[in-house]
Amino acid sequence: MSPPSSIQGCRIIELPKIHDPRGNLTFVEGGRHIPFDIKRVYYLYDVPGGESRAGHAHKTLEQLLIAMSGSFDVTLDNGTVRQKYHLNRSYIGLYIPNLLWREIDNFSSGAVCMALASDCYDESDYLRTHEAFLSFIRKST
């Protein structure tokens, strides 16, 4: 697991894990285990070796990222501090509030990253370049 966060609001969330000899079960309830209602679920898979994903920030969207299979690294940036998390357990999620730049890389073979999002897809919520992200947060403070 990763160290405690020094980035505002970001945190590791351990999800319920029900042990059973036939296989374990984990579940997520929006508004209970995570601080938002789930409006969208998507997942990244078959990411070629050496490739990275994300490379953006959201103005209002919140997310929880979970390594459903394999592992990957998530680097978060608030404009001042960068912090890396290594996700490799299907019962551990990384909560990412809005206004944090995120990069996902170092995918293991067969890795699956599931994202739970607080809202439906809205292109206008994205900050697609790091420069646009830094400009937006300077104007917001």
List, for residues 115-138, the tens digit of each pLDDT value.
Answer: 999 999 999 999 999 999 999 999
Per-domain residue ranges for the chain? 11-140
The pLDDT value given to residue 2: 45
86 in active site: no
CATH class of 11-140: mainly beta
Q: Which of 33, 56, 86, 130 is catalytic?
A: 56
The answer, yes or no, to whether residue 3 has pLDDT greater than 80, is no
Whole-angstrom distance, CA of residue 36 vs CA of residue 18: 22
More confident residue, 141 or 13: 13
